[in-house]
Amino acid sequence: MHAYIGSAAHPVIVGTGSHFPDEQVLNHQLCGPAGVTEDWILEKTGIVSRRRVAKDEATSDVAYAAATKALADAGVSASQLSQVVVSTSTPDILGFAVASQVATALDCPLDTGTYDVNAACSGFLTAMAITHRGMRDSDEFALVIGTDVYSRFRNDRDKRSTALWGDGAGAVVIGPRSTATSKAEILATWYTRYPTELETGGIPAGGSRTPASSQTVENAQHFVALNGRRIGEIFKQNVPTLLDRFLDRAGYHRDQIDHVIPHQGNHRLVQSMADMLKVDPAKVHATADRFGNTGSATIPTTLDIARSEDRLREGDVILMLAIGIGMTFSFSLIRWMG
């Protein structure tokens, strides 16, 4: 167990921001190709709507939109950023960092470091932990973005997963505690793994294991697949115990948690969190019913939405946790500063 425990001198979250595309996709639009009904989708997923990028938009575009909002909230200019870090599983193109595209769009200095993190749906918390742990300069600012555009990889005929996916991006700016716009101190972070199970999901073709070919296209292997049942089993079997270890190392217990922001895999999973984690259901934040599963974006967008809805109070302790195919787990504990 190697949870990172923050300190009073360490940088804090100084700004948040989120962005969803304008186009709304409702359940009735997905029923026909998937061979299901609206009631079936609602019963199985609890999702009512999700967003989809325009034809000329890609992952870097929604990431840029969230980034500009987070920077404005922090009162920080792009010229002040020492790092831009993006968590995503759906880059614009393979082999090209989305973070570099965002930094260019923001007109960051050439000495601004950029890199992407891919830990699937737990990637944002992993990226935030890595970035925060590496910051030592008291004047340093870093931008961390979680973003995915799964609509480009949705298989409309896959009834198990087509209704889950939405597009979006969320971002935080990390900077000095002395910054006037300080929002939250990072108390502790941890990321770990579970033995790899390829059958849990992913985009099977297009990588080095199975390069693109006419056969992979014919077999619909360039769409995202998901074994939600198996992922749910792994979550229930492991996360409660891992959470106990994380909180114990951080010096906190469940009664001290005021808010739980989990990965929004689907609304039904989020609804089961309170019982699974033994916390008050009123503490669990849900956005999957409105925006679906936006991958790396679910945690930062849900945090920003909770703030915009005025649900966070000074001194509140917020637990954020996620599981990603791969399999990966990430946990963060923050205290809201107002």
Exactly one of 27, 155, 266, 293 is catalytic; which is it? 293
Exactly one of 10, 259, 263, 267 is catalytic; which is it? 263
Question: What CA–CA distances, in Å, run from 198 to 57, 194, 225, 296, 326?
Answer: 29, 12, 10, 19, 7
Q: What is the pLDDT of residue 197?
A: 74
Exactly one of 10, 19, 27, 121 is catalytic; which is it? 121
> Whole-model pTM?
0.95
**Domain spans, the chain:** 1-338
Average pLDDT, the chain: 93
Range 239-250 average pLDDT: 93
121 belongs to the catalytic site? yes
Question: Using one digit for the tens of pLDDT, what is the confidence trace for 117-162?
Answer: 999 999 999 999 999 988 866 689 999 999 999 999 999 999 989 9
238 belongs to the catalytic site? no
pLDDT band per the 50, 70, 90 thresholds, residue 253? very high
Whether the per-residue pLDDT at 336 is higher than 80: the answer is yes
Whether the per-residue pLDDT at 1 is higher than 60: the answer is no
**CATH 3.40.47.10 assigned to 1-338:** yes
Range 10-34 average pLDDT: 95
31 belongs to the catalytic site? no
